[in-house]
Amino acid sequence: MQLPFADKVLSVQDIVLDEKSLEMIPPKNHEKARQNADEIMAMDFEYIVRGKKYNGFYTRLKNLPQEKHPVVILNRGGSGLFGHIDAKHIFSGFATSVIRAGYIVIGSQCMGFAEDGAPDEMGGEDFHAVLALKEFIDADEMADEQRIGLYCASRGAIATFRLLAETDWAKAAVVISGTVDLFDDAFRPEMTEHYATMFGGSQEEREKRSVLSWSEKLPKSTPILLMYGTSDWRVDPRSALHFSEKLLDLKIPHRLVMFEGSDHMLSERWQESRAMGVAWLDRFVRNDEALPDMKKHGK
């Protein structure tokens, strides 16, 4: 199978489930991962944005009918090579449930893998690499550019909320343990040094990446599902409460789910949380369900 926009990128390579990838997957999930690898096509591609080289990924079920299908832009977590989307995420992890639900999934690694590739700035220049994905979606004959959703975890929320604030084409967003406040140094003091390394760490740069500081820029037409674990040590779940309060004040449709005793990736409630994410996308992206009434009403 060929990348539908191969003429717009520098190079293309298949993402395969090899023995090294299997080592990163729990043995109990190996059989299912192999089945997924047989049924899912996945490709890595290198592309240029604003003169810099980035890597991205494209994946979908092999047997999708030759017709228009809804699309999900998946915004990765982690930073640098840690957390980049690879075979384990596609065939047995973060992206699998969305792919198996029949969505075309595309995303940026927010960095280049080559020696001359762009660095990851956690929402700096790399945001333009995410923004550029829309051109590839438009070039894919099987992708329905009128039905695009966003799906992210952790730092992926930075790109997700910037996309919502700066574009008007996303129908819904699913956010897992999203980073919404980069000013909370007390929760993870070590992140101060990490931010300095990734993007300089200035107040101005932190604010650009903290949707809590500019929630009013978000559209009222894009429903947001927020899912957090109460035992997460990477992202303070209380930041989601503060963010939800802002969304309530702004009458932005959203749902906040706190999974009791769950970790950063909601491991203890994996199946339940992933099913909720797909159901949200199905409602507002695939089926274009009417927006909920955010005005006070009822008896």
- Output the 3-class SS for the chain: CCCCCHHHCCEEEECCCCHHHHHCCCHHHHHHHHHHHHHEEEEEEEEEECCEEEEEEEEEECCCCCCCEEEEEEECCCECCECCCCHHHHHHCCCHHHHHCCCEEEEECCCCCCCCECCCCCCCCHHHHHHCHHHHHHHCCCEEEEEEEEEEECCHHHHHHHHHHHCCCEEEEEEECCCCCCCCCCCCCCHHHHHHHHHCCCHHHHHHHCHHHCHHHCCCCCCEEEEEECCCCCCCHHHHHHHHHHHHHHCCCEEEEEECCCCCCCHHHHHHHHHHHHHHHHHHHHCCCCCCCCCCCCC
Asked if residue 90 belongs to a domain, the reply is: yes
For position 113, what pLDDT does the model report? 95
The chain-wide mean pLDDT, for the chain, equals 97
Q: What is the pLDDT of residue 14?
A: 97
The answer, yes or no, to whether residue 37 has pLDDT greater than 90, is yes
**Structural domain count, the chain:** 1
Domain assignment present for 69? yes
Arithmetic mean of pLDDT, 177-200: 94
What is the rounded average pLDDT of the residues 200-206?
95
The pLDDT of residue 186 is 86
197 confidence band (pLDDT: 50, 70, 90): very high
Structure tokens belonging to residue 37: 């690898």
Q: What is the mean pLDDT of residues 156-175?
A: 98
Residue 99 lies in a domain: yes
Asked if residue 291 is part of any domain, the answer here is no
Considering the domain boundaries, does residue 298 fall inside one? no
* Assigned domain for 293 exists: no
The dihedral over CA atoms of 272, 275, 279, 285, expressed in degrees to the nearest 10, equals 130
Q: What are the tens digits of pLDDT across the range 249-298?
A: 999 999 999 999 999 999 999 999 999 999 999 999 999 999 999 999 99
- Asked, for residue 292, whether it belongs to a domain, the answer is no
The domain in which residue 36 lies consists of: 6-286
| Tokens standing for residue 57 | 């990924």
| Averaged pLDDT, 28-50 | 97
Domain-embedded: residue 244: yes
User: Domain with 239 in it: what CATH number?
Assistant: 3.40.50.1820
What strands, in cross-sheet order, belong to the sheet with 104-108?
A: 11-14, 40-49, 52-61, 104-108, 69-75, 143-153, 170-176, 224-229, 254-259
pTM for the whole thing?
0.97
The dihedral sign for the CA sequence 25, 77, 137, 55: negative
pLDDT digits (tens, 9 = 90+) for 79-135: 999 999 999 999 999 999 999 999 999 999 999 999 899 999 999 999 999 999 999
pLDDT band at residue 184 using 50, 70 and 90 as cut-offs? confident
d(CA 264, CA 282): 24
Cα dihedral 32, 35, 36, 42 sign = positive
Q: CA angle 90-287-59, nearest 5°?
A: 20
